[in-house]
Chain A
Amino acid sequence: MLTYTIRRLALFVPMAAGMVIVTFGLLLLVPGDPAAVLLGQEASAADIARLRASLGLDDPWYVRLGGYFAALLQGDMGRSIFQNQTVASIIGERLGATVELALAALVVAIVIGFVLGVAAAMFRGSWIDTASMLLAQFGVSMPVYWLGILLMLAFAVKLGWLPSIGRGEPLVTALGMALTGNPAPLFKSLSHLVLPALALGVNSAAIISRLVRTAMIDVLGEDFVRTAYAKGLRRPRVIVRHALRNALLPVVSVIGLRFGALLGGAVLTESIFGWPGLGQLTIAAIGQRDLPLIQGIVLTYAMMFALVNLLVDLSYALIDPRVRLG
């Protein structure tokens, strides 16, 4: 296990370096003089020269890349062009909200995905199977933002059951308050979280349900399942203890990959539900063409995604001995 962990960590380093290079390369895609483009047509020559100096555009690219690496190693992502703050502090303020939303969506995706997938596999060929997989097909094809709008229309505008925009207290804080006898903030936080998490999670739920169905059908045909039945075990026990546990393996790695899609999708969900996270910040930064901030955000997303996949790979090795011994 130790060798596997070291090998996997060693792979992470060049990948992270590659991501930094790609993020740095974004600046090279700006047509013309980036400083003039970023500041717009009304900027004075002095402002442009100042921005050129602050972005280090007068140096050759490899010197700038070296400087970018050196700064990142010290946790410095640069300064925002339009906000008088460091990129790291702006991102730090928003990161928690996006992670909370993405994790909530992941829970939605896993719960719905497993329920639909297991039901479809258990009743293979029946109307339950057809209905589950039809739902999954629609879930995969539905634009995240459209579903968000429909949910908002139904549950916030028409029925008035849930708030349409904004966020309550951070869930962890609200949970702490609930433990000290004040549950109101927790209910408020959850009521704000339900619709965006559902909108964001349904697409991944659909993908997971199809995978779970396939994996379960494969496992249910295995000899050890037949042996379990032959031993006289009841069906629910065979499904949960034997089949589901083995069907879990191929699904775990996909869950890590889905996290990247959830982070990307969060941009759309946050803009619909006014969720004050990294997604909204991305839209604002792009609107202003605040390049250091855009680079910082892109790199943060990539690193989060890479770290989650690293954790999934390591946990996968823990679950499946074939991975660490193979």
Chain B
Amino acid sequence: MLKRALAHPSLFVGGVLTTLIVCAAVFAPWLATHPVEQMAMRERFAMPSAAHWLGTDNFGRDLWTRIIFGARISLSIALISVSAAAAIGSAIGLVAGYFGGWIDLVLMRVTDVFLGFPALILALAIVAVMGPGVLNVSIALIIVFWTEYARVVRSATLVLREQAYVTAARALGASHFRIITKEILPNTVGPIIVLTTLGLGTAILSESALSFLGFGVPPPQPTWGWTLAYGTRFIRSEPWLSIVAGMAIMLTVLAFNLLGDGLRDLLDPRQLSRAGRSTSSQKGS
């Protein structure tokens, strides 16, 4: 498995980058070189140096410190919203695919309706009516993201429910709940993992876009989107601030995208069948 993982450059690079970013966020209090809100007006807009690894902002606050603390907010929101979206969407997809008929019809039409809204617009509208904050931004992203899981898991379930071992479980008298949770769900984990990894990147982009527009997590929380947006006020004379914040967002999204692409390649059914293993687990990915 490790050998195969190393054979996928995107998986390797994405994995290393993701680990570094997650570690920076988790250990931010220990890795920070200055207190988050410490101002030093004499050092405002400083370029990178030994004292300030990524320079300083318009209040002379250390950018490295603010970026790694910003990572905590972005990653937390992404993780909360994507996990909840995965759980809700997968449950809907499993029920729709397994029972079929009018249940499938109704659930999938509801999914189509939510898919029909441009994601950022719907998220913006939800935050607009509910108000900003970590919880509301997360709820908005859950409402936007669950649909993809519902569709993918449903199509995987449609294939899986016809498999011999599911028929056998049914013949042995297993309940619907048991068949769904014990027989079908474990075999949809592959596509769910890939979608979740790619979804984390999308969630970070969406969260930072909401913050950039001023509707995300409000200051003084050092969100990347807000830092970037604030930096645009000084863009003509001091573009560094916006460039660093944007770079942080891009590298993090890139890390999750590379990891997601790598996982997809690794879990690809054709490669699995070449390796002589069951292909049923990745149908619909």
Collect the chain B residues with CB atoms within 8 Å of residue A298's CB. Answer: 117, 121-122, 125
A105-122 vs B, Cβ < 8 Å mask (1 yes, 0 no): 000000000000000000
Q: Is B6 an interface residue when CB atoms closer than 8 A count as contact?
A: no
Select one of A137, A138, A146 contacting B228, CB under 8 A: A146
Collect the chain B residues with CB atoms within 8 Å of residue A141's CB. Answer: 201, 250-251, 253-254, 257
- B257 touching A137 by the CB < 8 A rule? yes
Within 8 A of A (CB), among B115-131: 116-122, 124-131
How many angstroms between the C-alpha atoms of A196 and B55 in the bound complex?
29
Select one of A30, A157, A260, A268 contacting B235, CB under 8 A: A157
Measured CB to CB, the closest approach of chain A to B97, in angstroms, equals 19
Known: A15-B109, A153-B235. A282 touches B124 (CB 8 A): yes
Measured CB to CB, the closest approach of chain A to B256, in angstroms, equals 8
Collect the chain B residues with CB atoms within 8 Å of residue A22's CB. Answer: 113-114, 117
Measured CB to CB, the closest approach of chain B to A53, in angstroms, equals 20
Count of chain A residues with Cβ under 8 Å from any Cβ of B? Answer: 50
Known: A137-B254, A267-B213. A29 touches B130 (CB 8 A): yes
A140-162 vs B, Cβ < 8 Å mask (1 yes, 0 no): 11111110011011000100000
- A146 touching B249 by the CB < 8 A rule? yes
- B117 touching A286 by the CB < 8 A rule? no
Known: A149-B235, A157-B235, A283-B213. A15 touches B250 (CB 8 A): no
How many angstroms between the C-alpha atoms of A286 and B127 in the bound complex?
9
How many angstroms between the C-alpha atoms of A147 and B244 in the bound complex?
13
How many angstroms between the C-alpha atoms of A50 and B258 in the bound complex?
54
Measured CB to CB, the closest approach of chain A to B260, in angstroms, equals 11
- B117 touching A29 by the CB < 8 A rule? no
Measured CB to CB, the closest approach of chain A to B117, in angstroms, equals 5
Q: Is A81 an interface residue when CB atoms closer than 8 A count as contact?
A: no
Select one of B208, B214, B232 contacting A143, CB under 8 A: B208
Count of chain B residues with Cβ under 8 Å from any Cβ of A? Answer: 46
Measured CB to CB, the closest approach of chain A to B227, in angstroms, equals 11
- B119 touching A302 by the CB < 8 A rule? no
- A263 touching B121 by the CB < 8 A rule? yes
Within 8 A of A (CB), among B121-171: 121-122, 124-131
Known: A137-B258, A141-B250, A150-B246. A26 touches B129 (CB 8 A): yes
Q: Please, which residue of chain A has its CB at the minimum distance from the CB of B242?
A: A149
How many angstroms between the C-alpha atoms of A157 and B236 in the bound complex?
7
Q: Is A19 an interface residue when CB atoms closer than 8 A count as contact?
A: yes
Q: Is B205 an interface residue when CB atoms closer than 8 A count as contact?
A: yes
How many angstroms between the C-alpha atoms of A26 and B117 in the bound complex?
13
Collect the chain A residues with CB atoms within 8 Å of residue B250's CB. Answer: 138, 141-143, 146
- B209 touching A143 by the CB < 8 A rule? yes
Residues of B with Cβ closer than 8 Å to A? 10, 109-110, 112-114, 116-122, 124-131, 201, 205, 208-209, 212-215, 228-229, 232, 235-236, 239, 242-243, 246, 249-251, 253-254, 257-258, 261
Closest 7 CB pairs of A and B: A18-B113, A146-B246, A264-B120, A264-B118, A141-B254, A286-B128, A141-B253
Can you list 30 A-B pairs with a CB-CB distance of less than 8 A?
Answer: A14-B109, A15-B109, A22-B117, A29-B129, A137-B254, A137-B257, A138-B254, A140-B257, A141-B257, A143-B228, A143-B246, A143-B253, A146-B246, A149-B228, A149-B235, A149-B242, A157-B236, A261-B119, A263-B118, A267-B213, A283-B213, A285-B128, A286-B125, A289-B128, A298-B117, A298-B121, A298-B122, A298-B125, A301-B117, A309-B116
* Further contacts, 12 of them, CB under 8 A, given A149-B242, A268-B212, A302-B117: A15-B116, A22-B117, A31-B131, A141-B254, A141-B257, A143-B250, A153-B239, A267-B121, A294-B125, A297-B125, A298-B121, A302-B116
Residues of A with Cβ closer than 8 Å to B? 14-15, 18-19, 21-22, 26-27, 29-31, 137-138, 140-146, 149-150, 152-153, 157, 260-261, 263-265, 267-268, 271-272, 282-283, 285-287, 289, 291, 294-295, 297-298, 301-302, 305-306, 309
